[in-house]
Every structure is written in structure tokens, then in C-alpha cells.
């Protein structure tokens, strides 16, 4: 998933993630348009193949789309995202984004078990699904032209932004 504003280099990261996941035998999905896609579900969550990420290294931004989502800031929106992720068997995410995207991802991981229990009790997911997905594991990759994230020397997008500014 790429979330928030786009940045040069996101496609390279998406390609690396998809191909490394496939190489390791994982079923890899893209969540298109960031957290909006997770909340909307359906065709926004798509299975990825090796060829889906061919020829994208020279393209700017992110081929899987990105968006900011006001609905994700609400508990109801995050709960819908959990339902859609569990429907696809997803409980591991790699999120590429800035401070807002990564903070939101952390909030969701902390609320995950609560939402899973509520969805089970409401009959939205089965007890078996709830048991199979007790927690959300997230890897955050900083994708921001701002380069303002503590703990990293260079964010995805910073080098290209600085190069463009100095041209």
C-alpha cells in the first residue's frame, strides 16, 4: 500500500516488495489508493503478479495509486478496513507513506484485536477468521519528499525532490 502524497521512488519500492514477496512464496496484494482502498475493498485490493510490476521503475509516483482518507481517521472507517482485509486473508501490511499514513497504520494495529472481536460478534467475520487473524503486523517505509521522519537519514522521494529543486 502507498498512502498519502506520492513520491519518486515509490514504484521501485512497490516492485521490490512484490517481487521479494513472490520469491518467498507469499500471496502478494496491492491495496490501491491507500487507506481509501482498504476501506472500500472489492477491486481496490488486487492480487499482484511478477509481471504486474514490470516496466514501472522509470515511472514517477506510484502505479498502485495513493490517497489521503478522512474516513480512515474514524473508528468506523478503520473497522471497515479490518473487515475488508480479513475477507482477503490479509493481516500483514507494508505501508509506504509519510507521518500521517504511518501514524494511522500504528493506530490500526493497536485497535485490530478490538475490531476483530466486534466484527466476529456482529457476524461480519466468522470465529475461524477471527482466530486466524489475531493481530496486524505492519512494516512502515517512509515515503515523503519532506525527509522529516525521525530515525531515518533519507526517505523515499527526498533525493529526487532535492535533485529537481536544484535543477
Catalytic positions are 146
Strand residue runs (E) in the chain: 29-31, 45-47, 92-97, 137-142
Rounded to 5 degrees, φ, ψ at 160 are: -65, -40
| Dihedral angle sign, alpha carbons of residues 64, 79, 20, 5 | positive
What residues contact 106, with CB distance under 8 A and at least 6 apart?
A: 138, 140
Residues 11 and 75: beta-carbon distance below 8 Å: no
Amino acid at each position: 500500500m502507498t498512502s498519502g502524497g506520492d513520491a519518486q521512488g515509490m514504484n521501485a519500492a512497490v516492485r521490490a516488495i512484490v517481487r521479494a514477496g513472490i520469491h518467498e512464496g507469499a500471496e502478494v496484494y496491492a491495496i490501491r489508493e491507500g487507506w481509501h482502498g482498504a476501506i472500500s475493498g472489492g477491486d481496490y485490493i488486487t492480487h499482484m503478479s511478477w509481471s504486474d510490476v514490470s516496466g514501472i521503475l522509470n515511472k514517477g509516483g506510484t502505479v498502485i495509486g495513493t490517497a489521503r482518507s478522512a474516513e480512515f481517521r474514524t473508528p468506523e472507517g478503520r473497522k471497515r478496513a479490518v473487515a475488508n482485509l480479513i475477507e482477503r486473508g490479509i493481516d500483514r501490511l507494508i505501508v509506504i507513506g509519510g507521518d500521517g499514513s504511518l501514524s494511522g497504520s500504528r493506530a490500526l494495529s493497536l485497535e485490530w484485536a478490538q475490531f476483530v472481536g466486534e466484527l466476529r460478534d456482529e457476524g461480519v467475520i466468522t470465529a475461524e477468521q477471527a482466530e486466524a487473524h489475531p493481530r496486524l503486523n505492519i512494516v512502515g517505509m517512509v515515503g515523503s519528499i519532506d525527509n522529516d521522519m525521525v530515525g531515518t537519514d533519507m526517505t523515499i522521494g527526498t533525493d529526487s525532490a532535492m535533485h529537481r529543486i536544484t535543477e
